[in-house]
Amino acid sequence: MRFFGTFLSSLLLHLSLVPLWIGSPIPFFYFLYLVYTGLCDFDLAAVAYGSLGVGAMAYLNWGRTFAYRPWAVELCYKLNMTAYYRECRLHGALDTMRTERTFYLFHPHGILSVGFVANGVWSREFNLRASAPGAEKEATWRGTAFLIAANLREWSAFFKVFCDLGGRLESATRANIMKLMAAGRNLAIIPGGFEDATRHKRGAERTAMSGRKGFVKYALQHGYALTPIYTFGESETYHTFTGLLPLRLWINRFQIPAVLFFGEPWCPILPRRDTRCLSCVGEPLQLPRIEAPTQAQIDEWHAEYLNALRVTFDRHKAEAGKPDAVLEVY
């Protein structure tokens, strides 16, 4: 009986990664709680146990960096995250994908970021098309760097270990982005970020882009191309609470995704299986190299990018089963 590449292998990967992503900070706070209660109750054993746990979490977070392991990536490829869904694949202008000096921009964020994760990070096809030949076998990952929030990447001990072993998940800090772009590395990011997640409404095609222009400035400074990727079906993966939006957007300012979500009835933290996730790749928009772009130039190319995103959306929405869909840009 075949296991790898089936629903069961994909379910195993989801059951490993989703709790790791959501619950990784919990042990740290649990150990802190033990220290606090131990001090209040004069329980030296609880203080010692909690302190040991806090120390271990701190060591994993900041005291140790694990080496990239190609076998870990190969295992994720074989478990095949896409097999969980009714359909989940890359689509669109795949032959135009470049192996260097390109910003791949995934929309929308959604809750789990299925397009970014399943059709990007752990997609063999994406990484073969967007990375130099042989990158998978090198001792150090030199292919596309997938950028995620620094607080998620660096402050969640067990998730950080997973990111280290996979090699390709990097912190989306300015210093790190500058370093990667100076080396000519391809980058992939979800520009809508946590605001996208907070605005998530099941069935609505929307992305937060109006005030997000930093990636355009960086691309101009290094002469990068911008490639839009829109995932139809991302909005179908979870039901979410849509009330109290102003409050939840305010919480976003602290880099906290203010979302309450519900997926599969039998396991609400997992996305709905009946989803068709089609990550449609647009044609690259090549930007000129301008070391010190003006705000007017940044605004101009940001508008050009939004137009390219809308073209990609409109070109593929009928194939995705949503011929009447309208992209909402916030």
Other C-beta atoms lying within 10 Å of the C-beta of residue 7: 12
Gap between the terminal Cα atoms of the chain: 48
Q: What is the mean pLDDT of residues 83-91?
A: 96
pLDDT in tens, 64-74: 788 899 999 99
Check residue 27 and give its pLDDT: 78
Q: pLDDT tens, 160-213?
A: 888 889 999 999 999 999 999 999 999 999 999 989 999 999 999 999 998 899
- Average pLDDT of span 266-292: 96
CA distance 277 to 236: 9
Tokens 């194939």: give the residue.
319
- Beta carbons of 39 and 49 less than 8 angstroms apart: no
Closest to 280 measured CA to CA, from 238, 307, 310, 306: 310
Q: How confident is the model at residue 226 (pLDDT cuts 50, 70, 90)?
A: very high
Burial 281-306 (b: 16+ CB within 10 A, else e): bbbbbebeebeebeeebbeebbeebb
- Strands of 82-152 (E only): list them: 87-92, 102-107, 145-148
- Nearest by Cα to 147 from 125, 118, 126, 168: 168
* pLDDT tens by residue, 297-330: 999 999 999 999 999 999 999 999 999 999 999 9
Q: Which of 230, 315, 309 has its CA nearest to residue 277?
A: 230
Reported as a single tens digit per residue, the pLDDT across 203-224 is 999 999 988 999 999 999 999 9
Contact (Cβ atoms closer than 8 angstroms) between residue 144 and residue 188: yes
Query: In the chain, at which residue ranges do the beta strands (DSSP E only) sit?
Result: 87-92, 102-107, 145-148, 169-171, 187-189, 206-207, 225-232, 239-240, 261-262, 276-281, 285-286, 328-329
